[in-house]
Structure 1
């Protein structure tokens, strides 16, 4: 498995080098020009990870990931790659046998978006420390605090709120814009915790 994974990454690097060889040199301005975005797409990835778990806290999101193979890349919230702020960016370093990772970030940081009582962010699982390439994965995370419980009246006759947690598979490409949630690639739970696995995605694909 490890050898096949390394081979696939080498093939991807070769493809990337071929694409980069299409760079055009503008002799007049002395500027190298290219539009890699038009030549290479990332797409949705169901490889490289076994499971992703989201736990919605009162003021933070906690994400636990399990990879298929030993991991030597980086994990970060979309838009946080450049500044590499510790709460938004995880570089665990390579250790043999290391396949479980956890990252916790505040609801008011790390490019977390708030719409009403719904907080959302996108987490990127990038296998190379510098480049996003096909095979990298991204997960759209949502913590929805707006749904009332079935039993909503307490001793003070106040309504309490429960949490709906969601994880959707999305594109790791930083230029990708999510238009609507894809039900086929979304795991949802009326709880503060939800898990997205490859087995779940396979079942959803068969059902839909």
Structure 2
């Protein structure tokens, strides 16, 4: 349901009924007064009620995401420039500024949490056509991916030399996927994950 028409003694009453049915606040709708209330003969005979049409505003999830991030940065008292780029997976917000390591955290854990919350905010009122927001800081994700690729190759060589499996430190699902992809074409190596979230780890071992 994107629009409703309601009748009330006053415009305000009709709008309130419409908002209650839609389950939203007034700032999320457009209001059109179809019929203004009027008093009839002697102030009550033939009185006409108010009639309104209340329509949900079209939500731009990307704009919602950007506003959400900006509000966080304002609360943190940090100046951040947001570069917005559309990619196949969704929309990337690459954050640039001074001393933004606080937004990254250990191995990107803070950044992943920020990205998760931003996607929740952006898609909160959307049922279909949800957008994926990727939050990055100074191209950190690309640098981290390159680091993980090198790490995977180095540890795979170690496994081949020693014949013993290597267990990596706990990683996010995205980072575990990078390790698996880095070694998927190595015919001597197999990779798999073990453990429970958030302590799930990648294991690199010789193929049997």
The TM-score range, normalised by the shorter chain, is: under 0.3
In terms of Rg, which structure is larger?
A: 2
More helix by share: 2
More strand by share: 1
What's the TM-score once normalised by structure 1's chain length?
0.24
What's the TM-score once normalised by structure 2's chain length?
0.24
Higher relative contact order (CA 8 A, sep 6+): 1
